[in-house]
Each structure stands twice: as structure tokens, then as C-alpha cells.
Amino acid sequence: MKKNLSKITAFLEMPEEIITDKPRITILGFDELAIENYKNILEYDEVFIKVNTFIGAINISGFNLKLIQMNKDDIMVTRKT
């Protein structure tokens, strides 16, 4: 099944994350982080955020963390200045 998905995504020239449930993490500079394909938020605090994905949990540690955007597909975490 995984080989077929890889062939399909290669043929269509699409990122694998779009068809599968693999999370995609994008770091934007020093102050922003986007996570796509997540399930839910397990913990949320100013110094720690734990996000549940379809393949496991993602832990984000820092200072003055804030969720600035959240919808059914992705979340955006920033650091308050």
C-alpha cells in the first residue's frame, strides 16, 4: 500500500503529506512554527505544547509560546515578544 501511495504522489507530483496522515512541520524564522495533519492538542502552556499526530506526539518547548492559529488541518505556534 505504501509503495502504491509513493508511486501515486510521484506521478501526480504532490507532497506525500497531502494523501497520507503524516504531519508536516514548517519552521518560519526563529519565532513561528506550523504543524499540518495533527489530531489534537494534548498540553498547552507558555513553556510547553504537546501536539498529537497520527504517527505520535510532537513536543514543543520554549518561552512565551502562544497558539495564534488553529483549524482542523493545521496549527501555528509563535513566541510572544
Compute φ and ψ for 66, nearest 5 degrees. -150, 135
Predicted confidence at residue 21, as pLDDT, reads: 78
Please state the pTM of the whole predicted model. 0.76
Predicted confidence at residue 75, as pLDDT, reads: 95
Domain coordinates in residue numbering, the chain: 21-79
Predicted confidence at residue 19, as pLDDT, reads: 63
Predicted confidence at residue 1, as pLDDT, reads: 58
Positions in the chain short of pLDDT 70: 1-6, 8-9, 12, 14-20
SS3 of residue 7 by DSSP: helix
CATH number of 21-79: 2.60.40.2000
Letter string b/e over residues 15-39, b meaning 16 or more CB atoms within 10 A of that residue's CB: eeeeeeeebeeeeeeeeebebbbbe
Predicted confidence at residue 47, as pLDDT, reads: 96
